[in-house]
Amino acid sequence: MDIDPVRGDITTQDVDAVVNAANQALAGGGVDGAIHRAAGRRELQEACQQLGGCATGDAKATPGFGLTARWIIHAVGPRWRGGGKGEAELLASCYRRSLEVADELGAKSVAFPAISTGIYGYPPEEAARIAVDTIRSTPTQVELVRLVAFDEATYRRYVDLLG
């Protein structure tokens, strides 16, 4: 599997599936809000409502609607609570479950945002390490994983980790 760091907008990635950093209700701001706007808010909201929410550490899929990507995989990352509340395992689970869902869909290329590093407050350095380590160690049929960084600092972290 190729793991490519890129700096850019996850909603414009030409991949089979994009991962949405969602909340448990599958509706919110940040990456989630941007994906809803780009995909078509009403259609995506209706599809998310049919999923009945999603637990922290899990992932569920909807169609991509107006995105270039065929599917959106909604992954619910943990809120940072100091590191002693199972946050690392829950974050790793987001990446593992997203790849498992991608395999179920037949997706060969997936773009991930930096899950939980925004309003959920996960330390960016640790989150990037968990993302890279988990993606590398998860058996999958996905051939290309794109780590999409919204800012230069996140992009540099990915580049350094992927060496």
DSSP secondary structure of 64-106: -TTSSSSEEEEEEPPPPSSS-SSHHHHHHHHHHHHHHHHHHHT
Query: pLDDT tens digits, residue range 21-31?
Result: 999 999 877 88
Distance of CA 104 to the CA centre of its chain: 16
Half-sphere exposure of 57 (CA within 13 A, CB side): 9
Which strands, in side-by-side order, build the sheet including 144-149?
2-7, 144-149, 109-112, 17-22, 71-76, 59-63
Known catalytic residue: 4? no
Would you state the pLDDT for residue 30?
A: 83
Beta pairing class for 71-76 and 17-22: parallel
Would you state the pLDDT for residue 8?
A: 97
Q: pLDDT under 50 in the chain at which residues?
A: none
Report yes or no: 62 and 18 within 8 Å, Cβ to Cβ.
no
Is the overall model pTM greater than 0.95, yes or no? yes
Amino acid symbol at 50:
Q
- Containing 154, the helix (H) or strand (E) segment is helix 152-162
Would you state the pLDDT for residue 31?
A: 87
Catalytic residue chosen out of the listed positions 4, 9, 14, 32: 32
Would you state the pLDDT for residue 29?
A: 76
Query: pLDDT tens digits, residue range 77-94?
Result: 999 999 999 999 999 999
124-137 vs 87-105: helix crossing angle, rounded to 10: 40
